[in-house]
Structures are given as structure tokens and as C-alpha cells.
């Protein structure tokens, strides 16, 4: 009897020791996971972006075979570049890397966490028939914005940064951004969705801008992204 009464508090103590040890281990794992993310982010580079009418923006990107360290590094670089340029989305081919990798940093309407989102091999699984217009800019199409009508709601399947298959359903600007970035993987730019007249006008302006920049020193050339950001349209 005394053994039982003695052993009960002890095993209770043992159990709580066990629990606190587990909690400590969890915390350590969490800290090291965070540290790893930070370390990877620290090594992230801001990538130079292609500007339309660069023909490389029209090339189709290839799927990644697996989400390995190189793909994760690409994801980190894209996030850093997107933030540095004031964008809310970026696709690898905009940096001249023709892999099917995109990043998106739009707050979900349900206030979801885990953003910026990093997606490898994103695929539109479902698109709503109803369309909605959003004013769109693009880090690769400086100083020009247009209202583009896209599916109001989409479901996208993708591999996350750990290579796990995921699916996300998005609406609003988030849905527009996902469609815009997936377009980039197929060599499609936002103004391709416009009627012929407006599309031609944008292409003429881009060509003119390119000629003007070629006449100036390289230092004055840039994506012009910040200027469009000031104009109010989100940069995707």
C-alpha cells in the first residue's frame, strides 16, 4: 500500500517531468526550425527582374522534379525580391529562371497565416465561371496597369516548401494574384487578357520605353515597380 501511495506522486512527477521534457524538445525543434528559416532567408538574394518586352518572359517554365534545397533557395530569393520591389506576387521566370515556382504574399480574406506562400508546380484545379476585375500591375511591366477580369475563385494544387502536396482555395485579390503568377509560368502577361487595341497600345509603350532606356545610362534603368506602386495598383 505504501508503495502505491509513494509511487503515485512519483510517477505523477515522472509524467510531468516527461511532459516538460517533451515541451522543451518541441520548443527546441521550433526554435531550430525558425533559425533554419531565418538562416535561409538571410542568404536570400534580390534577383534582377526581366522587363517586357523581353522574349524570355514568353517562354514556358518547366516543372520542378522535387522541392530540394535549390528550389527552396529559389523560393527564398523570390520572396526577398518580391518584398524588395514592393510586389505581392512573383514568378521565377520573371527573374529569368524557367522553373514552375511562384511566391504570393496576399493576406487571405480569412486572415490565414503562413504567408508569404511558396508554391512549386502550381496548377489550377478549379476556376469559378464568374469573373471579377482587379487593377493589376506587374513587376515585369513597369508603369502600366490595367483592370483584368479573372475567375473570382480558384483552387490551386501545389507542392509547398517541404515538398508536401497542398491545395488552396482563394478569392478576391488573392485569386487574381495566383492566376497572374501561374500565367507567368506559361509565358502569359496580364495585358494579354485585354482586347487587341489596348494590348497593342501597351506593347507599343513598352517598346518605346525600352528604346528610351537603351538611349540612357544603365543606372537609370529599373523595373519602375515603385512608381507603379505609387499609382496604387498592386504589383504581381
Residues labelled catalytic: 181
Minimum CB separation from Zn ion for residue 52, in Å? 9
Q: Does 138 bind Zn ion (CB under 5 A)?
A: yes
Tell me the pairing of strands 89-91 and 117-127: unpaired
Cα gap 81→71, rounded to integer Å: 15
HSE value, Cβ hemisphere, 13 Å, CA-based, for 68 = 6
Please report how close the Cβ of residue 180 comes to Zn ion at its closest, in angstroms: 6
Q: How far apart are the first and last CA of the chain?
A: 72
What DSSP state is assigned to residue 194? Answer: S
Stretch binding Zn ion (CB under 5 A), from 4-12, 56-64, 131-139, 220-228: 131-139
Running DSSP on this structure, what letter comes out for residue 113? Answer: -
CB of 73 to Zn ion, least distance (A): 21
Closest to Zn ion by CB, 103 or 164: 103
Residue closest to Zn ion, measured at CB: 138
Binding to Zn ion by residue 103, rule CB under 5 A?
Answer: no
Q: How far is the CB of 153 from Zn ion (least distance, A)?
A: 20
Stretch in the footprint of Zn ion (CB under 5 A) among 9-17, 61-69, 116-124, 132-140? 132-140
Chain positions 19 to 58 lying near Zn ion, rule: CB under 5 A, are: none
Q: Are 145 and 231 in contact (CB under 8 A)?
A: yes
CA distance 72 to 200: 37
Q: Considering the complex, state which of residue 108 and residue 235 has its C-beta at the smaller distance from Zn ion.
A: 235
- Smallest gap from Cβ 236 to Zn ion, in A, equals 5
Q: Which one, of 64, 65, 66, lies nearest residue 99 by Cα? A: 64
Question: Under rule CB under 5 A, how many of the chain's residues touch Zn ion?
Answer: 2
Q: Which stretch binds Zn ion (CB under 5 A): 46-54, 138-146, 153-161, 195-203?
A: 138-146
Confirm or reject binding of residue 236 to Zn ion (CB under 5 A): yes
Task: Please choose, out of 67-75, 77-85, 137-145, 170-178, the segment that lies near Zn ion by the rule CB under 5 A.
Answer: 137-145
**2-42 vs 69-84: helix crossing angle, rounded to 10:** 60
**What is the C-alpha separation between 49 and 51, in angstroms, rounded?**
6
Count of Cβ atoms closer than 10 Å to residue 123 Cβ: 14
Contacts to Zn ion by CB under 5 A: 138, 236
Amino acid at each position: 500500500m505504501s508503495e502505491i501511495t509513494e509511487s503515485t506522486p512519483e510517477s505523477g512527477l515522472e509524467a510531468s517531468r516527461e511532459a516538460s521534457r517533451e515541451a522543451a524538445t518541441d520548443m527546441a525543434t521550433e526554435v531550430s526550425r525558425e533559425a533554419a528559416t531565418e538562416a535561409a532567408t538571410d542568404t536570400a538574394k534580390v534577383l534582377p527582374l526581366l522587363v517586357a518586352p523581353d522574349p524570355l518572359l514568353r517562354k514556358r517554365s518547366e516543372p520542378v522534379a522535387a522541392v530540394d534545397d535549390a528550389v527552396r533557395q529559389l523560393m527564398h530569393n523570390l520572396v526577398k525580391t518580391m518584398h524588395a520591389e514592393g510586389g505581392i506576387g512573383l514568378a521565377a521566370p520573371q527573374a529569368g529562371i524557367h522553373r514552375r515556382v511562384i511566391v504570393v504574399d496576399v493576406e487571405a480574406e480569412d486572415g490565414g497565416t503562413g504567408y508569404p506562400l511558396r508554391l512549386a508546380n502550381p496548377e489550377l484545379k478549379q476556376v469559378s465561371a464568374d469573373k471579377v476585375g482587379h487593377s493589376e500591375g506587374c513587376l515585369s511591366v513597369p508603369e502600366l496597369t490595367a483592370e483584368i477580369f479573372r475567375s473570382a475563385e480558384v483552387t490551386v494544387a501545389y507542392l509547398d516548401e517541404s515538398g508536401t502536396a497542398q491545395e488552396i482555395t482563394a478569392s478576391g485579390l488573392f485569386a487574381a494574384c495566383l492566376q497572374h503568377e501561374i500565367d507567368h509560368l506559361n509565358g502569359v502577361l496580364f495585358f494579354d487578357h485585354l482586347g487587341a487595341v489596348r494590348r497593342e497600345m501597351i506593347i507599343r509603350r513598352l517598346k518605346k520605353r525600352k528604346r528610351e532606356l537603351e538611349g540612357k545610362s544603365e543606372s537609370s534603368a529599373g523595373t519602375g515597380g515603385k512608381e507603379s506602386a505609387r499609382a496604387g495598383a498592386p504589383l504581381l
